[in-house]
Structure 1
Amino acid sequence: MRPNLSTTLGSAAVLLVFLALWQWAPGALGMPEFVLPKFTRVVEEAGRMWTDSQLLKHFGITALEVIVGFALGSLLGVMFGVALGLSPRTEAILSPYILALQIAPKVAFAPLFVMWLGYTVYPKILVAVLIVFFPVMINVLSAVRTVDPDMVNLVRTLNAGRVQIFRLVEFPSAMPALFSGLRIAATLAVIGVTVGELVGGNLGLGYLLVDSEGQGNTAGVFVAIVALTLIGILAYAAVVWAERRLLHYLPRASVTTV
């Protein structure tokens, strides 16, 4: 459902109040600039970083890492989710190891990936893949398992093969749950890439964040955080756009995503 005018105006009002508090509250509370810089100070620092620190280049590198990590993690999640959903025996064999991989802290893997692959984009992408994989896999697996058996039996009476049952019933039924997982994964991909850049990187917004922190440049830290947030918002919006385009063609009864 598209937001109406009052909803848009309400969101804009909340944003304006937030920016106003950011601008004037630190001074009113007596906070020094190095603790919480004013909004205009952050904007000024963003302009300086744009020209002196190649902010756009670092933004593009992080965005590319997020896109690749999100795409690969989602693809693996769909593949494993379908395979485990269609084969309970396979799930029983592999689920303990997949769960152990999910429980293991991803921050612990980042230094290993840097040691193995060096200060390249690959460690950051791998961390993003690990974080994105699990929510997509779980959502797809659950959706495949909860397909209406009457629909499956109906298609079988029409002499449909296993591939046809999956294509006509199981996969379309799993699409809403898949996009729910993709919404979560879109934001988690940014976290994964940022963790990788914080641990070991010489490019990207995570690197700029660490570099600004090392110089005591609080405004620069805020610039990096805002840029990372923007990437996450764009990734999430892209998933929502694709969801509306694709689920629009599914029967209304199958569309349960909020």
Structure 2
Amino acid sequence: MDTATTAPKLAMPQPPKHRRVLSEKTRTVAGSLMVLVVFLAAWQWGPGLLGMPEFILPNFTRVLQESVVMWNNSNLLGHFGITALEVVIGFALGSLLGLAVGVALGLSPRAEAMLSPYILALQIAPKVAFAPLFVMWLGYTIYPKILVAVLIVFFPVMINVLSAVRTVDPDMVNLVRTLNATRWQIFHLVEFRSAMPALFSGLRIASTLAVIGVTVGELVGGNKGLGYLLVDGEGQGNTAAVFVAICALTLIGIVTYGAVVWAERRVLHYLPKVNTSTV
């Protein structure tokens, strides 16, 4: 009998779990950085290879040079700060309003039946159409931009919270009631906690929409902010300046989204990994 075939196979030692996780994260980060390098390389040399003139698609180096010029001469940092402030305020107010209305309608089916047609009509109405009206009412200040952001942020947060509150497990509610819990305790311990994952899902969407709302407001009636720089660059035919404004707006959106993801991981740390996003 061949002993080689009958001898038990020795299992290869497996690395510790934390090392496997670290290795997976390292490969993920390396792959993401590789995609970024390829994208920047294509942006740098692609326009030249395709014969595109600079006024149509400037390369990456030209955009960097223009960002330095705008930093020194056009107060790029000041405009960036104004837009970031408008995004943060609009996102915060819209999220709080959406949370409050979502909870109220989720706990009261009658109120939802009465108000849902009007909320739906407000959502269907194009938000861009409100921007000129807000400018006429409030002037060339930060308030019209914040209001547009609030309108855009409100609906995704509200609908996510409303759906989550409506789908709370009734057995959990009955269990807490048997322990003589008050109405506030039922809401705090069961209904609101059950709605937290859906709330953060809505906040993820809202964090990107807030940048869109502020930008729309600045494009329609702004004399400050990145939207104003974008319009100014367009008026001068300076494509590189337009790209600088777009990149700055994208950076604000990434930071806002990252802040929501960070808060979600801290607040929902008790949930299994399968129920939380890996982004």
Please indicate, yes or no, whether the TM-score normalized by the shorter chain is above 0.5. yes
Establish whether residue 206 from structure 1 lines up as the match of residue 206 from structure 2. Answer: no
**Alignment of structure 1 residues 129-148 onto 2, 5 Å:** 129-148=150-169
**In structure 2, distance between residues paired with 1:52 and 1:10:** 37
Establish whether residue 237 from structure 1 lines up as the match of residue 258 from structure 2. Answer: yes
**In structure 2, distance between residues paired with 1:229 and 1:236:** 11
**Secondary structure of 1:4's partner?**
helix
| Equivalent position of 2:238 in the other structure | 217
| Equivalent position of 2:178 in the other structure | 157
Asked whether the 8 Å contact 1:180–1:257 carries over to 2, the reply is: no
Measured against aligned partners, the alpha-carbon deviations of 1:38-94 in whole angstroms (never above 9, x if no partner) come to 100000000000000000000000000000000000000000000000000000000
| Equivalent position of 2:74 in the other structure | 53
**Shift in Å, 1:193:** 0.1
Asked whether the 8 Å contact 1:177–1:257 carries over to 2, the reply is: no
| Equivalent position of 2:93 in the other structure | 72
**Shift in Å, 1:161:** 1.2
Q: Give runs of ≥4 in structure 1 deviating > 3 Å.
A: 250-253
**In structure 2, distance between residues paired with 1:157 and 1:252:** 27
| Equivalent position of 2:27 in the other structure | 6
| Equivalent position of 1:171 in the other structure | 192
**Secondary structure of 2:36's partner?**
helix
**In structure 2, distance between residues paired with 1:129 and 1:174:** 21
**Shift in Å, 1:181:** 0.2
**Alignment of structure 1 residues 13-28 onto 2, 5 Å:** 13-28=34-49
Aligned mate of 1:90, from 111, 116, 119:
111
Establish whether residue 256 from structure 1 lines up as the match of residue 272 from structure 2. Answer: no
Asked whether the 8 Å contact 1:128–1:189 carries over to 2, the reply is: yes
Which structure has the greater CA radius of gyration?
2
Measured against aligned partners, the alpha-carbon deviations of 1:142-173 in whole angstroms (never above 9, x if no partner) come to 00001111000000000111111000000010
Relative to the length of structure 2, the TM-score reads: 0.90
**In structure 1, distance between residues paired with 2:260 and 2:253:** 11
Identity of aligned residues (%): 80
Letter in 1 for 2:232: D
Change in CA separation of 1:160 and 1:123 when aligned onto 2, cut-off 3 Å:
same
Structure 1: give runs of 5+ residues left out of the alignment. none
Establish whether residue 44 from structure 1 lines up as the match of residue 65 from structure 2. Answer: yes
**In structure 2, distance between residues paired with 1:251 and 1:38:** 45
**In structure 2, distance between residues paired with 1:29 and 1:160:** 69
Structure 2: give runs of 5+ residues left out of the alignment. 1-20
Letter in 2 for 1:238: A
**In structure 1, distance between residues paired with 2:47 and 2:56:** 9
Letter in 1 for 2:114: I
Letter in 2 for 1:20: A
Asked whether the 8 Å contact 1:124–1:196 carries over to 2, the reply is: yes
Aligned mate of 1:103, from 124, 127, 134:
124
**Secondary structure of 1:170's partner?**
helix
Count of aligned pairs between the two proteins: 256
**In structure 2, distance between residues paired with 1:44 and 1:210:** 19
**Shift in Å, 1:251:** 5.0
Relative to the length of structure 1, the TM-score reads: 0.97
